[in-house]
Amino acid sequence: FFLAVSSQVRRQYHFVYDRKNRTEAQKYCREKYTDLATIDNMEDMKILNDTVDTSKAFDLFWIGLYDDMNSWRWSLSDTSFYRDGETEFRLWGSGQPNNINSREHCTAMYNGRWHDWDCESRFWMVCMDVRGENIK
């Protein structure tokens, strides 16, 4: 796996190259780290884009955003984790989210943008570890 560190927002991101559906990916991330990745600002997205293995940049990676009854939410629900406006950050790809066949309720990162997908699809994942302030 690859590690990306965001010092401003107290988290480490881990690219895990093991294909799982969204439920399995979240379970894995919660067992090994904190949760699937929460990406709530452009700086973190740039860090992830700069860190991803370039041979895999056009593959899909689960992140923690999901559709909860027509409202997109992050799987890490602890509100003390977020600063003002951070839960609203989105970086959808063109035409996304499109919820094809009303089955796309989970989010995967693809080529630096986010796409909604069927949660049963098997992709790699980006996990997040939260370890206090200003991780270096």
Q: Give domain limits for the chain.
A: 2-130
What pLDDT, on a 0 to 100 scale, did the predictor assign at position 70? 74
pLDDT tens-digit readout, 63-111: 999 998 778 988 887 766 766 776 788 999 999 999 999 999 999 999 8
The whole-model pTM stands at 0.83
pLDDT 10s digits, 1-48: 455 555 445 678 999 999 999 999 999 999 999 999 999 889 889 988
Write down the residue that tokens 């990306």 correspond to.
Answer: 4
* Structure confidence at residue 132 as a pLDDT band (50, 70, 90): low
Q: Which CATH number fits domain 2-130: 3.40.50.1000, 3.10.100.10, 3.40.50.10490, 3.40.50.2300?
A: 3.10.100.10
